[in-house]
Amino acid sequence: MTTMTTCAVEYRADGLTMTGHLALPAGVGRRPAVLLGPEGTGLSDVERRRADALAELGYVALAFDLHGGRYLSDPEEMLARCMPLLADPDRMRDIGHAALDVLRAEPRTDPGRIAAVGYGTGGAIGLELGRDGVDLRAIGTVNALTTGRPGEAARISCPVWAGVGSEDPIMPPAQRNAFTAEMQAAGVDWRLTVYGGALHAFHHPSVDHSVRPGVGYHPQHARRAWRDVVSLLTECLPLSEDLGA
């Protein structure tokens, strides 16, 4: 019996040599695919395991890189790189498109059936791909209720699901309201799930309050958020037609 396989893939983006993590499902046929974006700290084993889990379900999954193979555990270094990036939609789109090109070029990928799922900065990049008019089947974000340039959300042509912790100081109620107002005004099919008592990066096992106030892991909500991501993909990127491939 064949199993899913993984490999590292190198590509250029943002002036850096990025190293993504590609996970391929068992079989030989084309499958729907998921572009998976990491938190601002960068690609870690957390996202690699999530890509592997998606491949076990039957998706081609690419967990993309943000920092040229580095994981920025120092909060000041992370903020120094991510804050300018989050303020520059074109730069975010370039990073997203470079990874998307790698995913589309994979022979196992069905290029007409791709979703973007991301956390923090990686989620913001997924949203920017949607605002850029990329043909996606779904966009899912956690901790990334970022708004875009006026009017560009109207280019989003797929359902958008967003998750956030109720106690997240980085994505407070005012930011939630701005995000949902943008989605609603653009006519996007959107949903927002607020996880009660959860902080920023609640889904990420390696974070804690010592890293930055307002950041902390919530195991129960982390599991729930993952189930919500899988539910989004099940609805918008079904595997049923690929059975036996």
How confident is the model over 109-125, as pLDDT tens digits?
999 999 999 999 999 99
Which segment of 21-25, 87-91, 160-164, 214-218 scores lowest on mean pLDDT? 214-218
For residue 160, give both structure tokens.
């958008």
Cα–Cα distance measured from residue 38 to residue 124, given in angstroms and rounded to the nearest whole number = 10
Tokens 């939630």: give the residue: 176
Read off the pTM.
0.95
- The per-residue pLDDT for range 146-181, each reduced to its tens digit, is 999 999 999 999 999 999 999 999 999 999 999 999
Q: Using CB atoms within 10 A of its CB, is residue 172 exposed (0-12), middle (13-18) or buried (19+)?
A: middle
Letter for the amino acid at 198? Answer: A
CA distances from 146 to 23, 85, 131, 182 (A): 28, 12, 11, 10
Q: 63: part of which helix (H) or strand (E)? A: strand 60-63
39, 201 Cβ separation under 8 angstroms: yes
Cα–Cα distance measured from residue 224 to residue 177, given in angstroms and rounded to the nearest whole number = 22
Residues linked to residue 117 through DSSP beta bridges, in sequence order = 36, 140
